[in-house]
Copies of this chain bind each other. A is one copy, B any other.
Amino acid sequence: MPRIAYFGPQGTFTEQAARAFDEHADLVPLSTIPEVVAALRAGAADFACVPIENSVEGSVSATMDTLAADDPVVAVGEHVLPIRFSLLTRPGTAAADITTVASHPHALAQVRDWLGKNLPGARQLASTSTAAAAVGVLDGEFDAAITAPVASAHYPLTVLASDLADEGDAVTRFLLLAPPGTVTEPTGSDRTSVIVVVSHRPGELAAMLTEFALRGLNLSRIESRPLRARFGEYRFYLDFDGHVSEARVGDALAALHRRSQDVRFLGSYPKADGSASVAVPGSQDTDYEASAAWLAALRRREQE
């Protein structure tokens, strides 16, 4: 039974995502994202489950920074979870009794309208996680908690309301991380993630993006953050369609490697939405084989 370390405590959305990757896994909650990834690097866990981005809040900086630093780890899967909250109370509590409601600030922000309409008199208090708020309710610290649905499986609390979300389509994307060298087999619907350090030469970012465009590789995400230690350089997080074993993806990765002293491969893994990667004309593996054969013949002085 594989051990999956995840960003806990128990009862969070990250636990839900970890269960989605493997419902029979031995789940190990740890309290910070760096601790989760460190457990994987140290061999204390086989996999690590962490949030990478939320459609409302944006990137999870702690995950991004952890992936860029120390020894590399690679993603072998992604899971996209619709973010819909439950309102938990102690048994017997009615909505009218609620004077305080607690949750992680991001969660409170995502149900602000609902709280304004349904619990207008309740004071909103911040907790370190949605699950910590549930523990606070259990301990009598707060009257109610805004939590992930899975929290009700861990704590003897009542679900007073569920499926709460101001933005009906908010989602969070989670990665399942594994030790470096783990690469999934290509499925025809894969995503590849990399971190590239780009020097501040004129046109260098445009050149990097053009390397993808020319090979017909669809970029699904690009995020930059300046490197404080090295002024004038930027770290880019890139997600794009395709698998490292495909010719056009390998060709683009090799081009990035020539452009940058610092490319970190973050894995090729099946896309959560299962949408097929489409190769533009001339970018199929067979096209690469044909062009390589043609060039090799030229160099052997055997022109067709």
Contact = CB atoms under 8 A, between A and B. Distances in A.
B295 A250 contact: yes
B180 A250 contact: no
Contacts of A303: 72, 74, 180-181, 265
A238 B254 CA distance: 26
A244 B299 contact: yes
A257 B302 CA distance: 16
A301 B183 contact: yes
A299 B254 CA distance: 12
Q: For this complex, into which size category does the number of interface residues on chain A fall?
A: 35 or more
A148 to B, nearest CB: 33
Contacts of A181: 301-303
A67 to B, nearest CB: 13
Interface stretch (A27-35, A88-96, A284-292): A284-292
A250 B288 CA distance: 13
Secondary structure of the A contact surface, majority rule: helix
A63 interface: no
B283 A258 contact: yes
Contacts of A244: 295, 298-299
Copies in the complex: 2
A210 B210 CA distance: 8
B258 A288 contact: yes
Contacts of A182: 301
Given A265-B298, A298-B244, A299-B245, A254 B183 contact: no
A114 interface: no
A245 to B, nearest CB: 6
A179 to B, nearest CB: 9
Contacts of A288: 254, 258
A298 B183 contact: yes
A207 interface: yes
A254 B292 CA distance: 6
A255 interface: yes
Contacts of A265: 298, 303
Nearest to A302: B181
A17 interface: no
A254 B297 CA distance: 11
Contact of A294 (B207, B257, B295, B301): B257
8 contacts: A181-B303, A207-B213, A244-B295, A244-B298, A253-B298, A254-B295, A258-B290, A265-B303
Given A74-B303, A180-B303, 4 more contacts: A183-B299, A210-B214, A244-B295, A257-B291
